[in-house]
Amino acid sequence: MTYLIIRKYDNGSEYCKPNYHVETYSDNLKDANKKLSALMLLNEDEKHYTFSIVQYHDQDPLILKDEVA
């Protein structure tokens, strides 16, 4: 199973849509959590960025669910 770490940029403006970017990936959840923690520490002063872990099945298209969006 592959885990994607998604970075969401949202400045809260009604004129700007949120922007999503695949920051990194991992093959196991333990490493994905470590990477997520590191990214959150590195970007803790950036209030417009949030990070989420999403499971990705190789044969499925990537569709973001409500908890990420």
Query: Residue ranges of the domains in the chain?
Result: 2-51
Q: Looking at residue 39, what is its pLDDT?
A: 92
Token pair listed for 13 = 């403006």
- Residues 5 and 25: their CA atoms lie apart, in Å, by 6
| 4: three-class secondary structure by DSSP | strand
CA distance linking residue 5 with residue 54, whole number of Å: 6
Q: Convert the pLDDT of each residue in 39-55 to its tens digit.
A: 999 988 888 899 999 98
The set of residues, in sequence order, having a beta carbon less than 8 Å from that of 40 and lying 6+ positions away, is 51
Q: How far apart are CA 1 and CA 37, in angstroms?
A: 20
Whether the per-residue pLDDT at 69 is higher than 80: the answer is: no
Q: In terms of pTM, does the model score above 0.85?
A: no
Model pLDDT, residue 67: 59
Report pLDDT digits (tens) over 6-64: 999 988 888 888 899 999 999 999 999 999 999 999 988 888 899 999 988 776 676 76
